[in-house]
Amino acid sequence: MKKIVYGMMALALAAIVGCTPDEAQVKKTATAIGYAAGMVANETPIKDDARNAVVEVLTEVRTCIPEEGQSFADAWAPIIKEKVAELVKAGKIDAATGELVTTVALMAAKGVDYLFDVRFPKAKQYANLVTAGAGGAIDGFLTVFKPVDAKSATAIEYDKEAYEFFKKNK
């Protein structure tokens, strides 16, 4: 009987305090959240050149890890804006398209922030979990938000709460 009571107490404590997830849990959840953000981004009327630019920009920022206390959106925004400015200067996109690309790319960053702010706040303390989360979110986003010449998206399980969050906060 004592073992059952102690076991129940341990489960209750774990539920209250929360556990730090492992890399696989973070990556799976991040992929689902990124996919949800990508679904919302896909609903944006976006032309082919802008779609390809978003993919190019996200490929550029995916390895950037924010400093302690900094959000992914804050860390990635200057890189995104710089890359978009390069694309505009090179004539690959115009300024108006650049603004749209910036907005859509920042949605992916907000997906990573959502992961660490809402789902796994303690996980941001661990570099391996941050890397798994950022990579998973971008992978999920790009699974559904494909470049123009890519195959159509394969449906995967997406995070319905995150989808509703992104719909409200586009």
Tens of pLDDT, residue by residue over 41-71, are: 888 888 888 988 999 999 889 888 888 889 9
What confidence tier does 149 reach under pLDDT thresholds 50, 70, 90?
Answer: low
Q: Is residue 87 part of a domain?
A: yes
Q: Is residue 60 part of a domain?
A: yes
What confidence tier does 169 reach under pLDDT thresholds 50, 70, 90?
Answer: confident
Looking at the chain, list the stretches that DSSP marks H as alpha helix, in order from N- to C-terminal side: 2-17, 23-42, 48-61, 72-89, 95-114, 127-144, 160-168
Q: Is residue 5 part of a domain?
A: no
Q: Is residue 119 part of a domain?
A: yes
What confidence tier does 155 reach under pLDDT thresholds 50, 70, 90?
Answer: low
Q: Is residue 88 part of a domain?
A: yes
Q: Is residue 8 part of a domain?
A: no
Q: HSE on the CB side for 6, CA within 13 Å? A: 3
Mean pLDDT for the stretch of residues 99-126: 91
Is the pLDDT reported for residue 166 higher than 50? yes
For 170, the 3-state DSSP assignment is coil
Q: How far is CA 138 from CA 2, 12, 38, in A?
A: 47, 34, 9
CA atoms of 140 and 11, how far apart (whole Å): 31
pLDDT for residue 10: 38
pLDDT for residue 3: 40
Q: Is residue 10 part of a domain?
A: no
Q: Give pLDDT tens digits for 120-148.
A: 999 988 999 999 999 999 999 998 887 66
Structural domain of 32: 21-168
Q: Is residue 12 part of a domain?
A: no
The domain tally of the chain equals 1
For 125, the 3-state DSSP assignment is helix
Chain mean pLDDT for the chain = 82
pLDDT for residue 113: 93
pLDDT for residue 154: 52
